[in-house]
Amino acid sequence: MSSTVSPSFTACLICGTRNQPKATVCKECSAPMALVHEAEAQQRPPRIVSVVGDSNVGKTVYLGFLLDMLSQRANQFEAIPRGAYSVDLPQNVISHMAYRMFPPKTPVESSEWNWAYYQVCKRGRSPKWVDLVMPDMAGEAIAAEVAAPSTFRVIEQLLARSSGVLLLVDAALAAHGSAQPDFFGVKMLSYLDSLYTTDRRKRIEVPVAVVLTKADYFPECFDDPRRFAQANLTRLCNLCESRLAKVEFFATSVVGALGYATSENDDVVTSIPLHVSLRGVLEPFEWVLQQL
Amino acid sequence: MLSGLFARNSAAKDACSVVAGDQAAPADRTRTSGDALLQALQTRRYGLIVRGRQQWLQHPHFQSVFEEAVKAVDELFALVPEGMVSLSLSTFDQPGQPETEVPTAAFLLARHAVTNADYQLFVDAGGYQQLEIWPRDIWPHLINMKDQTGQPGPRYWRDGQHDRRLARHPVVGVCYYEAAAYAAWAGYRLPTDAEWQMAASWRVRGAADAQRRYPWGDGFEVGRCNLWASGHGGTLPVEACPEGAAPNGVLQLVGNVWEWTDGEFRCTDRDGRLVVGATLLKTIRGGAYDTYFPWQATSTFRTAADSMARSPNIGFRCALDLLTN
């Protein structure tokens, strides 16, 4: 693959904008130019796997633990971070969760996002290495882009180039009767639909894993995630059935139990992750990888 | 094979674990006969026999039954000496955070967590229908304590029976109240939070104020317990990981399943604010097969779960006060 438009410029891996050869971030989308250099070094283009979802659904925590688990060779995976910046996200998540704190909200500005470039393979008879780029995007930015396309061109470009999508949906909210997760999921899927297909007779071929987060609130979610989604995310399920050629439902949770800290003097309630118990983190990713 | 702190067993499943999708094999139901004393012996309610012996003194077989029960208690339980523990009162586990010193008297702690086979005895004896062993305010909730087929029992059972392949695995899918009810039914009780920590940290009173970070010592070793890093991905039989035993032979205080204790979780966060749950929080200890951080499975780490939670990674073990003549 060629990433240089001319000897004087380097094209961004995400949006294609021409940048100075020594630029560290893309002047247009703020993606690290290191992605380009890594791709050149590997001599193969990376696949982009996007983790999307509404604000506060748990994208950062999910992605941080996923990357850390892969680095620890969970389930016979092997993952090599390419570039020190790729470790920032799992380091940030682990360092907070280890002290029973959630990491801060991902900033809306794309220049503040964490990017991860990993080489991943599943060990076996003939392991196949896949280069993956997985950015941690802010939920507000995703929502803004979905509401008004091209507001965040970096998101538009990322999703347009994605080989797989993990759509995170808040199962706890849905189980409590909120329609917000369902509606956001429909909007997200509709947005992807407009990105990936122009012919309404064809379904989206990009694999989409619908990941029900915070499933520990409603343990039945783990028994049959698809059934839970059909009961509590009906609109999203119907749209998945209509428009997606490759879709699967998963339940996941990271927090074993949640506490709430508040004081009489203020109305601020802080959620405290009392301990970490990982369930269903690897499975959605593994499924998407199998579809690539 | 990899080495290191987070080395993972490349054999993802232990031979004794059940692979998802395998056909379940329901266990046999318990059949008892005879009077209450003999049934208590048959259902292994040894605590009931030894603690309630006064009511059976006139029973023709009392002496032999009592001796058998004492012998069983001696085999199934281990002595935890008196000591002193420092219970953390903060969720921010750093030096300098508030703690409270709690003395513990000597007591007996079960060497193993309660197994599915043990709990089957309780279910078959109609434990869920014996209202006297349940708190009155829990009675309306008993209707929710059903298994996958709607029968009274732990959440992951079917038709009121456990999978016989998991007979020696710790029972899970039971809330705090189910654990307490079983203990009461058998004549035992749940350990207090401080007692559990004493058993795991072995902070015996003495000139040297030493305690263990883990039951076996201070260094974490992945092969001594069943945490996430061990790679098993599920529960193991209660006899597994013998190298992780406490000095008195109690197994799996760390790892395999979290354990309910008879303690209400009262802690503050790093800013001193009280931490509460959606419902009453009860302390759980020890970590489980899916505990990601080894330092969340130490002898002093305190955490909690909603008292009604019927999780796949929470079990319990019983305690017994020292028997007096």
Closest partner CB to A100 (pick from B91, B265, B291): B91
- The terminus-to-terminus CA distance of chain A in angstroms comes to 19
d(CA B301, CA B319) in angstroms, rounded, equals 20
pTM: 0.91
- Residue B146's CB is within 10 A of a number of other CB atoms, namely 17
Residue contact B269–A258, C-beta within 8 A: no
pLDDT reported for residue A29: 84
Question: What one-character-per-residue DSSP string does B135-183 give?
Answer: -GGGGGGGGG-B-TTSSBS-TT-BTTB-BGGGTTSBP-S--HHHHHHHH
A274 to B6: CB separation less than 8 angstroms, yes or no:
no
In a domain, B109, yes or no: yes
So what's the architecture of A46-291 in CATH?
3-Layer(aba) Sandwich (3.40)
CATH number of domain containing B147? 3.90.1580.10
Q: Is residue B6 in a domain?
A: no
Whether B19 is in a domain gets the answer no
pLDDT tens per residue, range A5-60: 455 888 998 888 999 988 888 998 888 888 888 888 888 888 899 999 999 999 99
The domain tally of chain B equals 1
The answer to whether the beta carbons of residues A10 and A17 sit under 8 Å apart is: no
Domain-located, residue B21: no
Q: What is the ipTM of this complex?
A: 0.90
Yes or no, beta carbons of A274 and B91 under 8 Å apart = yes
Regions in chain A scoring below 70 on pLDDT: 1-7
Mutate to test the interface with B, among A100, A218, A253 (most CBs of B within 10 A): A100
Identify each DSSP E strand in B49-161 by its residue range. 77-80, 83-88, 99-104, 107-110
Chain A CB contacts of B276 under 8 Å are 259-262
Tell whether B267 is covered by a domain.
yes
Residue B273 to residue A261, Cβ atoms within 8 A: yes
Write out chain B's pLDDT in tens, 325 residues. 333 333 343 333 333 345 445 667 888 777 777 788 989 999 999 999 999 888 888 888 889 999 999 999 999 999 999 999 999 999 987 888 889 999 999 999 999 999 999 999 999 999 999 999 999 999 999 999 999 999 999 999 999 999 999 999 999 999 999 999 999 999 999 999 999 999 999 988 776 778 899 999 999 999 999 999 999 999 999 999 999 999 999 999 999 999 999 989 999 998 889 999 988 999 999 999 999 999 999 999 999 999 999 999 999 999 999 976 5
**Which residues of chain A have a CB within 8 Å of the CB of B305?**
256-257
pLDDT of residue B11: 33
Looking at the domain assignment, is residue B22 inside a domain? no
Residue-number span of the structural domain to which B132 is assigned:
36-321
Give me B42's structure tokens.
């048959």
- Dihedral of CA atoms B209, B215, B220, B221 in degrees, nearest 10, equals 140
User: Is B4 part of a structural domain of the chain?
Assistant: no
Domain with CATH 3.40.50.300 in chain A: 46-291
| Cβ–Cβ under 8 Å, residues B251 and B191 | no
Which residues of chain B approach chain A closer than 8 Å at the C-beta? 2, 6, 8, 10, 12, 91-94, 155, 228-229, 258, 265, 267-269, 271-278, 281, 288, 290-293, 295-296, 301, 303-306, 309-313
Nearest to B50 by CA among B68, B77, B76, B75: B68
Question: Who among A99, A261, A279 is closest to B290 (CB)?
Answer: A279
Report whether B186 contacts B47 (CB < 8 A): yes
Is A268 an 8 Å CB contact of chain B?
no
Q: Does A65 touch chain B (CB under 8 A)?
A: yes
Contact A274 B303 (CB under 8 A): yes
Looking at the complex, report in whole angstroms how far the Cα of residue B32 sits from the nearest Cα belonging to chain A: 35
